[in-house]
Amino acid sequence: MIAVFAPGQGAQSPGMLAPWLELDGVAEQVAAFSEATGLDLERLGTSADADEIKDTAVTQPLLVALGVIAAAQLGLDTAAEHAPSGLCVAGHSVGELTAAAVSGALRPIDAVAFAARRGSEMAAACALTPTGMSAVLGGDADAVVAAIEAADLTPANRNGAGQIVAAGAQSALDTFASEPPAGARVRPLAVAGAFHTHFMAPAIEGLQSFVDTLDVADPRPILLSNADGAAVDNGAELIARLVRQVTLPVRWDLCLRSCADLGVTAVVELAPGGVLTGIAKRELPGAELVAIKTPDDLDKARALFESRPQHGQGEHTPEVRIVVTPTKGVFTRAESLDEGSQVARGARLGTVRTNRDEHEVLAPHAGYLAEWLRHDGDIVAAGLPVARMSDALETT
- The values of phi and psi at residue 190, to 5°, are -85, 75
Contact 109, 32 (CB under 8 A): yes
Active site residue 196: yes
User: Cα separation of 237 and 393, whole Å?
Assistant: 26
Burial 257-290 (b: 16+ CB within 10 A, else e): bbbebbebebbbbbbbbebbbbbbeebbeebebb
Among 34, 196, 225, 390, the one annotated catalytic: 196
In the DSSP assignment, the letter for residue 376 is T
Residue type, 45: G
User: Cα separation of 232 and 252, whole Å?
Assistant: 15
User: Cα separation of 156 and 363, whole Å?
Assistant: 26
- The values of phi and psi at residue 266, to 5°, are -155, 145
User: Cα separation of 189 and 96, whole Å?
Assistant: 21
* DSSP H or E run through 350: strand 348-353
User: Cα separation of 173 and 360, whole Å?
Assistant: 34
Active site residue 92: no
User: Cα separation of 202 and 227, whole Å?
Assistant: 19
DSSP 3-state assignment of 357? coil
Contact 158, 226 (CB under 8 A): no
Residue type, 207: L
Contact 187, 137 (CB under 8 A): yes
Among 34, 92, 93, 120, the one annotated catalytic: 93
In the DSSP assignment, the letter for residue 85 is T
Residue type, 175: T
Catalytic residues: 93, 196
